[in-house]
Amino acid sequence: MTVAVICGGVGAARLLTGLQRVIEPGEIVAIGNVGDDLELHGLHVSPDLDTIVYTTSGAVSTERGWGLEGETWQAMASLARYSPSPGSAAGDGGLEGAEGPTAALDWFSLGDRDLGTHLYRTHRLLQGAALGEVTAEIARAWGLGFHLLPVTDDRLRTMVTTADHGEISFQEYFVGHQHGVPVTAVRFDGAEVAKPGPGVLDALAQAERIVIAPSNPVVSIDPVLAVPGVRQAVAARRDDVVAVSPIVGGKALKGPADRLLTELGRDPSVVGVAEWYRDLIGTLVIDTVDAAEARRIEALGLRAVVTDTVMREPAITDALARALIGADS
């Protein structure tokens, strides 16, 4: 079976580890979010793409769930030496014009091994290579058997409007403020002029199954769907589209998905996820703890599949992958 997976970071990466064990990896196309990308210290960093590469290759840090196992942080320690002290005007202060948690030069940690990936990506982009081309080179170097496509080669950035700090970049919100500030709006800068990356629309048109990974619907999946043509391509395949809820028992397993839904006036539950995706998907996979909500989901015109979605161990991850493949049976 050919499968196209719309991906964020950690949840998508874990799901892909199972999918590549239960079907031929070459039959999988992962379409990755680049709204989280940032330029830092002159380097182009793609956190979600790299999390997918590191996790599915078995190199990810088991302690953190991101970055590389056996990482060291000497470069960051050296950089911290040059960070301006509180109240100092010295240095460039991290983000241009930044104040608060992103003022320090080491506010966003890049491990010594991980730096090699960003150095290579930036080098190739400066040579004129497209992001998709470079991503394929990085994926091959790590031995990935499936296809990893950035949703666009163009610049796309998730911007978050907060109650206390105005509009800030996603990484400033997520890392700098530890996603602890209230959000009033989210937009995707550059989406209106971005073009889908090579192969993206073809993958969505040709896949036998389209999977929306258990990633944050607001800031991981919506940036992918915001690229012109992508949402329409998914909606056109609605009966073949299955999503995995990132909300279990009213809570996000990781990150601020539940709080973002609440702050944006939506229901932070599996029913809220169903409402968010109802025009795009035919099936929603929910965890067993939410089994009682299946009828409410079905009342929205969707199929509800109940299974264990918390990928605590490989056997559960593989079973979830199999459930996605047979979700309409």
pLDDT of residue 86: 53
DSSP-assigned states of every residue in 253-264: SSSSHHHHHHHT
For the question of whether the overall pTM of this predicted structure is more than 0.85, the answer is yes
φ, ψ for residue 152 (rounded to 5)? -150, 150
Rounded CA gap, 103 and 138, in Å? 31
CB-based contacts of 110, cutoff 8 Å, min separation 6: 40, 41, 43, 45, 75, 76, 118
- Cα–Cα distance, 257 to 273 (Å, whole number): 10
Which pLDDT score is estimated for 66? Answer: 80
Strands 247-248 and 38-40, by their bridges, are unpaired
Measured CA to CA, the distance from residue 110 to residue 117 in angstroms comes to 10
- pLDDT < 70 positions in the chain: 84-100, 102, 327-329
Tokens, residue 48: 């979600």
Q: Is the dihedral of CA 41, 70, 315, 296 positive or negative?
A: negative
Give 223's contacts (C-beta < 8 A, 6+ positions apart). Answer: 33, 34, 35, 36, 151, 156, 158, 188, 191
**The pLDDT of residue 254:** 85
- Cα(169)–Cα(188) distance, integer angstroms: 10
Q: Rounded to an integer, what is the distance from CA 227 to the centroid of its chain?
A: 15
Q: Look at residue 65 and give its three-state secondary structure.
A: coil
Give CA angle at 83 (78, 87), nearest 5°: 160
The rounded distance, in Å, linking the Cα atoms of 205 and 220 is: 21
- 10 Å Cβ neighbour count for 309? 27
